[in-house]
Amino acid sequence: MFTLTHSDGAARRGILETAHGRIETPVFMPVGTQGAVKALTPQHLEEIGASIILGNTYHLMLRPGDELIARRGGLHKFIGWNKPILTDSGGYQVFSLAERRKIEESGVRFRSHLDGSTHVLTPESAVDIQWNLGSDIAMVLDECPALPSTPEVIDRSLEMTARWAKRCRDRYLEKISPGPLSRMQFGIVQGGTFPELRAKSAELTVAIGFEGYAIGGLSVGEPNETMYQVVGETTPRLPADQPRYLMGVGTPIDLVECVARGIDMFDCVLPTRNARNGQLFTSEGPINIKNAEFSEDDGPADPACQCYTCRNFSRAYLRHLFRAGEMTGGTLNTLHNLSFYLDTMRRIREAIAFGRFEDFRQSFHRTFARRALIS
């Protein structure tokens, strides 16, 4: 159940209640594809204030298998995380594993990246698998087309995604016993970068009726400004009283800009993956901790950050850990990056509550560009 508590321009603040707890929005959801946010434990996630994490249908279906997880009592119990979980449907793997799959009206045929075996993901099985996992929020199976594509291709794709969404919804309704805290299912709006196609996809998806709506198919190579524009044009076409989730986005600036356009939920691998690859997000912009300039830098990763990493360790040490290939480096970097993301969302929520989101947005842009300006 979603309750809007504040709005400031197009930016909104709200509370999404689930069977595993409440989520304050706008929220950033760390990605834990295979049932783990890489390099962290659930304890870390609790400590940095994560309120919901992601899991992935495609990956968990292949290994260890959704039925195995169901037999262990569901994903929450299996991975030791008692807070909400959102599962992606495998729709993104339709895009990222393009050369290993074939799309048909009935569903997607994958050749497993693990052992080459063939697996079929249909709208119905995507629902069933997520049901087995026991996620609080399940996504419909969609097709995430590569950009750029012609309007004709995007149109055909979005229409099939809408037909799939309906099949997902029908399957979901067979399983669910409705209630304020029962499991939720979100539809996904596609349409590439064409406003009229986004509008069409939104209309088709909203007509089916879901507990929330996602915007998918963005951040796949198009310019940032284009993405902001598409988001800005799409959110007004989604129900104001339901959560809006921008899938796979983004950089810290993207978060601020898309909250400004009415987005409530985000997920992205950037803070976790880049942490393991040595890029740290700071209030003054991103730094690459492996760079020689930090070899004797005794300061924290981010002078404005209060996370465990920043309270206890220097840039010089983090650089050393990275170069030495120590796993602890990946953990400390991930802890920091996610802390930065979650903290940014906290500040966004606070600013909205005080009606000062626009001020926040501008000062965030200024400080985040600081390092770039200095150098």
CA–CA distance, 331 with 353 (Å, rounded to integer): 33
Decide whether 229 or 279 has the Cβ nearer to RNA.
279
| CA angle (2, 234, 50) in 5-degree steps | 40
CB of 308 to RNA, least distance (A): 19
CB of 126 to RNA, least distance (A): 10
- Contacts with RNA by CB under 7 A lie at 31-33, 37-39, 54, 56, 59, 88-89, 91-93, 95-97, 99-100, 113, 139, 142, 144, 188, 214, 216-217, 219-220, 224, 247-251, 254, 267-270, 272-274, 276-279, 288, 290-293, 295, 323, 325, 327, 330
Backbone angles phi, psi at 79, to 5 degrees: -100, 0
Burial class (CB in 10 A: 0-12, 13-18, 19+), 325: exposed
CB of 224 to RNA, least distance (A): 6
88 is catalytic: yes
**Greatest alpha-carbon span in the chain:** 61
Contact present, 245 and 212 (Cβ < 8 Å): yes
Decide whether 267 or 343 has the Cβ nearer to RNA.
267
CB of 84 to RNA, least distance (A): 15
Decide whether 33 or 125 has the Cβ nearer to RNA.
33
Decide whether 70 or 97 has the Cβ nearer to RNA.
97
Determine which one of 88, 128, 254, 302 is catalytic: 88
Contacts 24+ apart (CB under 8 A), 218-224: 218/246, 218/247, 218/248, 218/249, 219/248, 219/249, 219/250, 219/254, 220/95, 220/144, 220/146, 220/147, 220/248, 221/146, 221/147, 221/148, 222/147, 222/148, 222/193, 224/253, 224/254
Contact present, 143 and 161 (Cβ < 8 Å): yes
**Helix 195-208 crosses helix 224-234 at what angle (to 10 degrees)?**
40
Decide whether 11 or 247 has the Cβ nearer to RNA.
247
Q: Give the closest residue to 112 by CA, choosing from 182, 54, 178, 63.
A: 63
CA–CA distance, 326 with 80 (Å, rounded to integer): 25
Decide whether 8 or 128 has the Cβ nearer to RNA.
128
CB of 354 to RNA, least distance (A): 27
CB of 314 to RNA, least distance (A): 16
The residue to which tokens 């995430």 are assigned? 144
Determine which one of 128, 264, 267, 343 is catalytic: 267
Catalytic residue positions, numbered: 88, 267
